[in-house]
Amino acid sequence: MVEYTTVEKTTDDGKEEHSIKIHSKVSEGENIREIGSDVKQGELIMNKGELVTAFGGELGVLASVGALEVSVVRKPVVGVLSTGNEIVDFDTPGPLSVGQVRDTNRLTISSISKNAGFECLDLGVAPDNIKQLEDCLRMALEKVDVLVTSGGVSMGELDLKPTTFATLLTSTGSKKLIFALPGNPVSATVMFYIFVLPALRKLSGYIDYKNKIIRTKLLHSIKLDSRPEFYRAVLKVNDEGTGFVAQGTGNQRSSRMMSLRSANSILVLPGRSDSLEEIKKGELVDALLLGPIQ
């Protein structure tokens, strides 16, 4: 190694070493990489279900052994369709009319899908009309493998989608998945993380397709709702670097997109009971990770 040597003499022009002194004993073959020493013949270089990523060395490993082609699982194409007579495109200019709502669901869900590495088609907005909705669904299912809709799944007169999750078998024998999510934007986003994203990973061949859940301490007390709740929070490493702490994002109303701003986790809270009405500051809860930890 060069760090264990010193130059004794250089050439007359001073540009090259003429002789050096070695200060460490060198064994025969030391620091020489033998042919075939990196990967042995017959050695398994990648497992079925292992991800080929942009940040890991998988491409380099494949290239190093001359593997120009490998069999992979095709990722499903996702389509996102919003529904409702009140829904208008998010980029609609000017003040909205009374009763109109800017569509945040398509933008948010499409962004999450693309960030997770899935091709996502924006299928627009379908009105609350049975014939037009049916036409939109038929057209969508011709283009995508997984259809994600939002709105129209409650108990209202114009809530026309009778299912929440469905599998359709086409005339060609292929399967199509439909996820009908709530219209409230926070509910739609949270349900996408909990149900749809793991399903997309599994369809793509992931072995570890489930959401990551870690234990974290609360930085403040939380009064429990009568139902189990997915509480949006900012999760970070504590000051000591020994664990995680979570801070809620304020009002958790299901229509309030501000509760998702900066949120990188969802706290999984139980419903209120006679024996448990509040999770106190400093207690541990499960946190479902949405993004990088601060």
Q: Give the whole-number percent of the chain exceeding pLDDT 70.
A: 96
Residue 226 pLDDT: 93
Please determine, for residue 158, whether its predicted confidence score (pLDDT) is greater than 60.
Answer: no
pLDDT tens-digit map of 217-274: 999 999 999 999 999 999 999 999 999 999 999 999 888 989 999 999 999 999 999 9
CA atoms within 13 A on the CB side of 185: 18
Q: Which residues lie across from 125 on neighbouring strands?
A: 82
The model's pTM: 0.83
Instruction: State the pLDDT confidence band at 125, using cuts at 50, 70 and 90.
Output: very high
CA-to-CA dists, residue 284 to 112, 248, 268, 275, angstroms: 28, 14, 11, 17
Q: Provide the edge-to-edge strand list for the sheet that holds 146-150.
A: 120-126, 78-83, 146-150, 175-181, 165-169
Please determine, for residue 171, whether its predicted confidence score (pLDDT) is greater than 60.
Answer: yes
CA distance 241 to 79: 41
- Rg of the chain in Å (alpha carbons): 28
Measure the N-to-C terminal CA separation of the chain; round to a whole number of Å. 40
CA distance 230 to 213: 13
